[in-house]
Structure 1
Amino acid sequence: MKKQITLISITLLFSIISQSPSWAGKVLERIKETGVITAGARKDAIPFGYINDKGQWVGYSLDMLELIRQQTEKQLGKPIKLQLVEVTPQNRFEKLKNGSIDLECGSTTFTWNREKEIDFSVSYFASGTQILTKKGSGLNEVESLAGKRIGVISETTNERVIKSQQSAAQLVTVKDRLDGLKKLEAGEIDGFASDGIVLEGLKKTTANANNLEIVPNYPYQYESYACTLPHDESQWRDLVNYSLIKFMEGIVTDEPNTVRIFDKWFGEDGEVPYSRETINSYFQGIVNTYEWIPILEY
């Protein structure tokens, strides 16, 4: 029940944020002129954005970017290419503000402070801060983090959550998620804090997966993933939101091609299995705050 209430709260939050007015349209005009969407993405966020064993940049968020590209192409009536740029927690918002990228879709979560600098799309996934640790570490309760070395990536909500939940934890800054895993396996830290769904993906990259666990059972704090966009670009934000809402509506109504995208990453045989029942409820709440898109649009 606690999990369901939290997800509903996040849904309502994003419905309010996404409907705030803005009037400029420079980004969409630039895309129409150049025929290119320049998008930021992560390379260390399995299954949202990463490099696979074939050297290809793949992930759930990359599929969302492709849907946005297709919708942009349809709306502008001309071929549109997608140009990917790697971003990090430290540079992703600056790249949006200085015009280096038109949007970023990775594993970025909403905060009110971030909203002061950039805009957010509707949410297209939800997760929350948990800890990857060695089995038997005893880090199952927030009290157990006191005095423990917990790896965090700087300027992330995970860092903030651990600080607020247990100020006595010894935070150790790591470069990225792979560095966090490396330091954990080497015994340099007692746990690595990140989003639970991404930790599940990270865990699969190591031969020592059976010796690792993700704690606690439920995140310390739930958060919503969304694409980030430049401030005051309502036309561009509306196009992005339309693309994401159409996808979520397809999941809720079991549209085969749409479900296939979700199942590739989160189905029973996907990269990181995730409950369809949970995500359907979450998506349903978001879709219900908008006008339903006619089935002929799929």
Structure 2
Amino acid sequence: MRRLMRAAAAAMMTLALTAALLPARAEELTGTLKKIKETGTIVIGYRESSVPFSYLDNDQKPIGFSMDLCGHVVEAVKKKLSLSDLKVAYNPVNSATRLPLVANGTVDLECGSTANQLARQKQVAFSVSTFVAQFKWLTRVDSGISSPDDLKGRNVVVTAGTNTAQFLNKLNQEQKLQLTITQGKDHAESFLLVETGRASAFMEDDILLAGVKANAKEPARFKILDKAYSADPYALMFRRDDPAFKAVVDETLIGLMKSGAFADLYAKWFESPIPPHGVNLAFPMSDKLKELTRNPSDKANS
């Protein structure tokens, strides 16, 4: 009997040792990571005129702060999937197309200037916040406009498909401003309407207005009004219900924030000369964004 017990114990120990020596079962991939592994390609969505987040340089190559952040995510995905030859495909998006192209699987990771909103979370998902903006007005210096009150009854412009457009429509109704609101297809077209006098002012996030103004042919012809309105935080965007991919994105961004690399990238794009004209936006990091780098969050405004 004792022999049988000793034999059984020895057999169990052998099985345990054998199991410990066997390689761990590969993690089963799902969602976006599975798609990337199977295709060998990650598709990045970029904006063409969202300076300094995501825009085209003189060679029509997408560059910017968000593009650099996404570059780090791509490297993390390569490592996660052991895909040293991972291909990166670039797909242009604008304010109207970005959500549906992410939701339907065309774009894996959107790297632009997209605000994290509760309403949008019904269609897509977001990373931890990467920027905090405010809505402001841009107008021509010779417009005679010094405050939002001067805009009553005038023609103004906002970019189609943005949270700014939603905010402006609500503001127009609640404050009875009697604005005629035109929608540009992108920020470049919206700015052009002000530049050519077809609109009195352009409402958008303060940093995006700073970007289009700085890159104008004659920046001194334009001004940004002091009045500011609270806006939603920016984040990278990807498909909903994909916790494994979200974990890779968030871990990458939080790692950059904790190491100081995020602050270095911010200084590169917001406080240094940037392509294509070598303009320095001179836009220091806000106290709110500093707090979010210390305590990262993926929460939208309520």
Normalising by structure 1, what TM-score?
0.81
Structure 2: distance between partners of 1:53 and 1:155 = 26
Structure 2: distance between partners of 1:134 and 1:199 = 12
Q: Work out whether 1:38 is the aligned partner of 2:43.
A: yes
Q: Work out whether 1:229 is the aligned partner of 2:238.
A: yes
Deviation at 1:196, TM superposition (A): 1.0
Deviation at 1:156, TM superposition (A): 1.0
% identical aligned pairs: 25
Q: Work out whether 1:48 is the aligned partner of 2:53.
A: yes
Which amino acid in structure 2 is aligned with residue 149 of structure 1?
N
Aligned partners of 1:135 and 1:211 also within 8 Å: yes
SS in 2 for 1:166: helix
User: What residue is the counterpart of 2:132 in the other structure?
Assistant: 126
Matches within 5 A, 1:90-105: 90-105=96-111
Q: Work out whether 1:248 is the aligned partner of 2:254.
A: no
SS in 1 for 2:295: helix
Structure 1: distance between partners of 2:89 and 2:217 = 33
User: What residue is the counterpart of 2:264 in the other structure?
Assistant: 260
Q: Work out whether 1:182 is the aligned partner of 2:210.
A: no
Residues 14-73 of structure 1, C-alpha deviation per residue, up to 9 Å, x if partnerless? xxxxxxxxxx93211111222211111101101111111233221111101101001111
Aligned partners of 1:110 and 1:226 also within 8 Å: yes
Q: Work out whether 1:281 is the aligned partner of 2:294.
A: no
Deviation at 1:238, TM superposition (A): 0.9
- Name the Cα RMSD after superposition: 2.3
User: What residue is the counterpart of 1:239 in the other structure?
Assistant: 248
Structure 2: distance between partners of 1:141 and 1:163 = 18
Q: Rg: which structure is higher?
A: 2
Which amino acid in structure 2 is aligned with residue 28 of structure 1?
L
Deviation at 1:204, TM superposition (A): 1.8
Q: Work out whether 1:150 is the aligned partner of 2:156.
A: yes
Which amino acid in structure 1 is aligned with residue 218 of structure 2?
N
Structure 1: distance between partners of 2:286 and 2:104 = 40
Matches within 5 A, 1:23-34: 25-34=30-39
Residues 77-109 of structure 1, C-alpha deviation per residue, up to 9 Å, x if partnerless? 222232110001111111112211112121000
Deviation at 1:125, TM superposition (A): 0.8
Residues 103-125 of structure 1, C-alpha deviation per residue, up to 9 Å, x if partnerless? 21210002221111111111111
Matched residues, number: 261
Structure 1: distance between partners of 2:80 and 2:242 = 16
Aligned partners of 1:142 and 1:165 also within 8 Å: no
SS in 2 for 1:221: strand
User: What residue is the counterpart of 2:165 in the other structure?
Assistant: 159
User: What residue is the counterpart of 1:106 in the other structure?
Assistant: 112
Instruction: Decide whether aligned partners of structure 1 residues 141 and 122 sit closer, same or farther in structure 2, where only a CA change above 3 A counts.
Output: same
Deviation at 1:74, TM superposition (A): 1.5
SS in 2 for 1:162: helix
Structure 1: distance between partners of 2:35 and 2:65 = 26
Structure 1: distance between partners of 2:281 and 2:259 = 20
Residues 194-215 of structure 1, C-alpha deviation per residue, up to 9 Å, x if partnerless? 1110111111222221010112
Normalising by structure 2, what TM-score?
0.80
Instruction: Decide whether aligned partners of structure 1 residues 146 and 54 sit closer, same or farther in structure 2, where only a CA change above 3 A counts.
Output: same
Which amino acid in structure 1 is aligned with residue 202 of structure 2?
F
Structure 2: distance between partners of 1:41 and 1:144 = 35
Instruction: Decide whether aligned partners of structure 1 residues 139 and 249 sit closer, same or farther in structure 2, where only a CA change above 3 A counts.
Output: farther
SS in 1 for 2:119: helix
Instruction: Decide whether aligned partners of structure 1 residues 97 and 54 sit closer, same or farther in structure 2, where only a CA change above 3 A counts.
Output: closer
Deviation at 1:145, TM superposition (A): 2.8
User: What residue is the counterpart of 2:215 in the other structure?
Assistant: 205
Aligned partners of 2:46 and 2:62 also within 8 Å: no
Deviation at 1:140, TM superposition (A): 4.4
Which amino acid in structure 2 is aligned with residue 113 of structure 1?
A
Structure 2: distance between partners of 1:40 and 1:237 = 16
